[in-house]
Structure 1
Amino acid sequence: MGAEQEVTVDCPACGRRHHYAPRAYACACGAPVAPPLTAEARPEAVPRRSWTDEWVVVRCAACGRDGHWPQPEVDCPCGTMLRIPVRLPGHPVPRDWPPHDWSPRPSHIPLPRTAAAPRPAFRPLTIRTARDAVTAAGLYLRWLGYHGVVAAEQRPESGIDLRGPEVVAQVDPTTTRTPLRAVECVWLYGMQDAAVGVLFSLAGYADDARARADELGVPLFVMDLTGTPQPVNAPADDLLSSEV
């Protein structure tokens, strides 16, 4: 749902024109879903970000399921954040949370069950490419005790690189700090799959991403080029201390 959804939007602050196509995410049924836009969509400047305005409800055309997806936005070079309205036939754009309870859960869901045998030492994989980073993260999750973890052959639109029966994970191999949006997306996919969502980053995390991860209980790990993940927040410490 890419090029045919492209719209042209003008920044109300500087007048600069942008061509925008919404990103598609995978529905629970497997079909790609993108927020539907219209050619006359007029963006609005976002003076202050709000959690309740970061998500919109979009219905999957394949299965009819309603899901919560990130609100389409554009960063204008002038510094203005532009929020693009979503047109939902038969559905008003929701601004009040929620038709379902998507509030953060105070408990972790679900961590690996403990067992008597201690873990052997983790054997890392040296990271030379982005694919190596994903492979190293998968090895680490399996070492933690998550069985059946598989990596996508190519990175999907959802950004979820690794999936298992009880875990989903995203790996950021870039040289810039992982942003807030990545934390919120991996948490959302974890909620949809009744799994724990985990993030791995080579460059660390933005301050607001760290704060949101603590609020949502998302474990954050950083990896160096030796391929050894290190926990950077309390949920990650909890995950590491859970014996399998």
Structure 2
Amino acid sequence: MPDRVPVRCPVCRRDHQYVPAAYPCRCGAAVVAPPALGAPARQLVHRVWEDSWITVRCGACGRQGRWPQPELDCCCGAVLALPVLSVPQAAGRGEPEAARQGSSPAWDPVALAVHWLERLGHREVRRMERRGASAVGLRASGVLAEVETAARPVGARAVECLWLSGLAAGLPAVHFARAGYTAGAKERAEGIGLALFALDASGAARPVSGAAGELVRGAGGGA
């Protein structure tokens, strides 16, 4: 499978190079949903739960898992869904076990955040503007959210800025982070009542603030 897959935006006709994401199977292999070469991408206008996830079989052990549908953000603002090959496979197939375990596969925190927002009862999730180089804004029915995609803990300033954005929009706010939060961020979130969730590659969203725990309990423990 190529390291990069050419993708053309159907809206503005720009060409992109997409790097397929890999996800960790329990056996240690990196599972990849390879985009189909030459198949046209489609613009995501309204996100539908079933369309956001695909079933991928690990080529190393045969396990099947549900992973995010490959997506790409075009600079024109369109979000593109990429069709995948009919027989997904595991990256690193045939590599030594030690080499697979030593890898650090990529995963999509934005798609996971969308999943958990919907499980918490917030539908019609759509992407908003990017907040800096690595943060992505989301808006759903009754909530404003931000996802930090970088592999570094979120600080207190980002937490407070999201809280202020929620106040301006008249909506409660929820923060998701790929690498957790600093002690200062957690302390500030407790003081202002902001919900913080830590995401991980297993697909879990772990509440790390009191407000987040209340959201989970209100949704019947769904997260």
Q: Identify the structure with the greater strand proportion.
A: 2
Give the TM-score of the pair, scaled to structure 1.
0.45
Higher CA-based Rg: 1
Give the TM-score of the pair, scaled to structure 2.
0.49
